[in-house]
Structure 1
Amino acid sequence: MKWTSEDTSMYLQSKEYVDTAIIPLVQIGFGNNVKSLAEEGEYTALITEDLERQLKGRVFLFPACTYISGQMTDGEKTIQQWYHEVKDNFKHIFFITSDDLWRNVEELHKDMVIYLPAIPLEHMDESLKRKMIEDQVSQILNIFLQSWKAS
């Protein structure tokens, strides 16, 4: 389910089955690295959309939580706010990002932040791109399954 009026209606009817929130973390900025930031955001979006497609009815994909490049402290505060907003409605909360700065944030619900190194997809053959995304999604599915089994 996604953050749309149709899907939120479905969520309200079946929320006892939807126990996992997926929140993409996307860094934005217009410095020298604007293209790499866009690639990270695109990659994160492709992965999270595929996860939602495969797990529809079990997960809720929120819109990306964006934060300004170089303002990590504000980003940390923002995801703390996200966490507190959704924790009463979702048993499992996962933040998914391609920004490697999140790998170093130890105290910030480290088990909930999934870091994916972005792969430049711009010039990649469509079938290879699909395969790369499927492989990454498969790894994340294993993380989700472990979390679901542990609870």
Structure 2
Amino acid sequence: MKWVLSDVDVYNQSREYVDTAIVPLIPVSLEADLKGTVSKGEFITYVSVELERQLKGRVFLFPSLSYLKKSKNVIESVIEWKTELQEEFKHVIFLTSDETLKEYTSDQQNVKDDLIWLPSVPFEHMDESLMKKLLEDQIQQILNILLQSWNK
């Protein structure tokens, strides 16, 4: 389910089955590597949407949390989101391709295990069939992580 009106009724009817919240983390920066930063956000958006499609009925995809890449306060926002979402969902997963977030969370045990970092794959000039294959591979990796989390 997604953060859209048509899915809210479905969510309300099947709350007990939807135990995982997914929040994409999207960096924003107009500095040096603009295309790279946009590419990371685009990649995570594709992965998030495909993950939700495959796990519809078990996960709830929230709107992307955009943040300024140079901001050090993003971890505080992530912790705040996690705290809020854990009131409703057993599992809260954050998806990112921003390597700086991986560094920021390395000493934040309460967020570290919920952050899934994926190396970004630029889709700009990629053939659609190759893009789908790469997405499938990434989704498989995330599914393995989610299965481990669900089995705890």
RMSD in angstroms over aligned alpha carbons? 0.9
Cα distance, 1:136 vs structure 2: 0.5
Cα distance, 1:81 vs structure 2: 1.2
Aligned to 1:114: 116
Distance in 2 (CA, whole Å) between partners of 1:9 and 1:35 is 38
Within 5 A, what are the aligned runs for 1:77-88?
Answer: 77-88=76-87
Task: State the 4+ residue runs in structure 1 displaced beyond 2 angstroms.
Answer: none
1:19 counterpart letter in structure 2: D
Q: Unpaired segments of 5 or more residues in structure 1?
A: none
Distance in 2 (CA, whole Å) between partners of 1:85 and 1:7 is 20
TM-score, with normalisation over the residues of structure 2? 0.95
Aligned to 1:54: 54
Cα distance, 1:29 vs structure 2: 1.4
Between the two proteins, the alignment pairs up a number of residues equal to 149
SS at 2:77's partner residue? helix
2:146 counterpart letter in structure 1: F
Distance in 2 (CA, whole Å) between partners of 1:143 and 1:69 is 26
Aligned to 1:63: 63
SS at 1:26's partner residue? strand
Aligned to 1:140: 142
1:127 matched to 2:129: yes
Aligned to 1:149: 151
Aligned to 1:76: 75
Within 5 A, what are the aligned runs for 1:95-110?
Answer: 95-104=94-103, 105-106=105-106, 107=108, 108-110=110-112
2:150 counterpart letter in structure 1: W
Cα distance, 1:74 vs structure 2: 1.5
Distance in 2 (CA, whole Å) between partners of 1:100 and 1:74 is 15
Aligned to 2:26: 26
SS at 1:7's partner residue? helix
Distance in 1 (CA, whole Å) between partners of 2:147 and 2:94 is 16
Aligned to 1:38: 38
Distance in 1 (CA, whole Å) between partners of 2:7 and 2:32 is 38
Distance in 1 (CA, whole Å) between partners of 2:113 and 2:83 is 16
1:75 counterpart letter in structure 2: V
Q: Percent identity?
A: 46
SS at 2:26's partner residue? strand
Cα distance, 1:3 vs structure 2: 0.2
